[in-house]
Amino acid sequence: MRATREGKDWIFVSDAHFSGRKPGEMDSFIRFMVGEHERMDRLVILGDFFEFFFGFRGGVTTASFPFKEYLPVLECLRTLYREGIRLTYFEGNHDFSLGSFFREHLGIEVEVHPEGSEEMLGGKKAFVAHGDLSNPNQWTYRLLRRLLKNRFSYGLMNLAGPRLARAVARKLSEMSYERSHREGSDGPPPAFKQFAYRRFREGYGVVILGHSHYPDEAEETIEGKRCLYFNVGDWETHRSFLRYTPPDRFLLGRFEAEDRC
Tens of pLDDT, residues 109-131: 999 999 999 999 988 999 999 99
Residue ranges of domains in the chain: 9-260
Q: What element of type H or E holds 209?
A: strand 206-209
Kindly report the CATH class assigned to 9-260: alpha beta
Half-sphere exposure (CA, 13 Å, Cβ side) for 50? 22
Q: Is the pTM here over 0.85, yes or no?
A: yes
Residue 58: pLDDT band by 50, 70, 90 thresholds? low
- Asked if residues 2 and 84 have their Cβ atoms less than 8 Å apart, the reply is yes
pLDDT tens digit string along 27-50? Answer: 999 999 999 999 999 999 999 999
Residues 6+ apart with CB under 8 A from 76: 26, 29, 30, 33
* Beta carbons of 217 and 252 less than 8 angstroms apart: yes
- Give the model confidence (pLDDT) of 143-194 as tens digits: 877 887 888 877 777 777 777 766 666 665 565 555 555 554 577 899 999 9
Q: Which residues pair with 124 in a beta bridge?
A: 121
